[in-house]
Amino acid sequence: MQGFDRTALTRTLADGAAALQLDLSQRQIDLLIDYLALLAKWNAVYNLTAVRDPAQMVIQHVLDSLAAVAAFDRVKNVLDVGAGGGLPGMVLAIARPEMQVAMIDTVHKKTAFLTQVKAELGLANVTVHTTRVEQLQAAQPFDAITSRAFAELADFINWSGHLLAPGGRFIAMKGINPEQELSRLPAGWVVREVRALTVPGLQAQRHLIFIERIAH
């Protein structure tokens, strides 16, 4: 594949994971690169991401998603809403194989890609749904629901709040601190933490927003 230098990409990824203090095995690094290769391949036809250069994909997509992994340390099952090309869901599934990761998107070509990645990489902890999140009925509620640049936080919560387990939390990935969005949260929800992230090789701002139900 043109521009896909596996050795250089592996080095960038391994160095970035080390900078994030993530203990990833060589197999996990290889799986992340395999995922990236599939993303680059499908992207040429299906336009899954605006980022075309694999070297930038490593930083802007994979390391960006890996920077959030520590926030999911005690999470058993997570839903990635508006999963698109699998960010952060597919990265979380590879980095945390003990965690169940469900991904949902309304666009069939995107969920077809996610299903193909699950099959080719043998990811038994991945489930893919093609529907609107407000229509999803899950057999088991999720202890975390995440998204990456999916929608305004109020919409994100209104559409998917029915899927969150008691005591669970939303973990939204955002760029700059979305202070105006935080002021428009639906009644009954509270921001527990706004955590700034540093992504190796990326100069842009990144934040994780932790939102929980207000306990009655």
> Minimal CA–CA distance to 67: which of 181, 174, 182?
174
Q: How far is CA 180 from CA 102, 154, 200, in A?
A: 29, 11, 27
pLDDT for position 47: 84
Classify 3 in phi/psi space as left (phi over 0), alpha (psi -120 to 50) or beta: left
| CATH architecture designation of domain 6-213 | 3-Layer(aba) Sandwich (3.40)
| Gyration radius of the chain over CA positions | 16
Q: How far is CA 69 from CA 20, 58, 74, 77, 147, in A?
A: 9, 15, 11, 13, 13
Q: pLDDT tens digits for the chain (216 residues)?
A: 567 899 999 999 999 999 999 999 999 999 999 999 999 999 988 889 999 999 999 999 999 999 999 999 999 999 999 999 999 999 999 999 999 999 999 999 999 999 999 999 999 999 999 999 999 999 999 999 999 978 899 999 999 999 999 999 999 999 999 999 999 999 999 999 999 999 999 999 999 999 999 986
pLDDT for position 112: 97
pLDDT for position 103: 98
From the CB of residue 106, how many other CB atoms can be counted at a distance below 10 Å? 13
**How far apart are alpha carbons 149 and 69 in whole angstroms?**
16
Q: What is the pTM of this model?
A: 0.96
> Minimal CA–CA distance to 80: which of 91, 89, 70, 72?
89
Amino acid code (one letter) for 101: V
Residues in the chain: 216
Q: How far is CA 128 from CA 101, 131, 179, in A?
A: 9, 10, 32
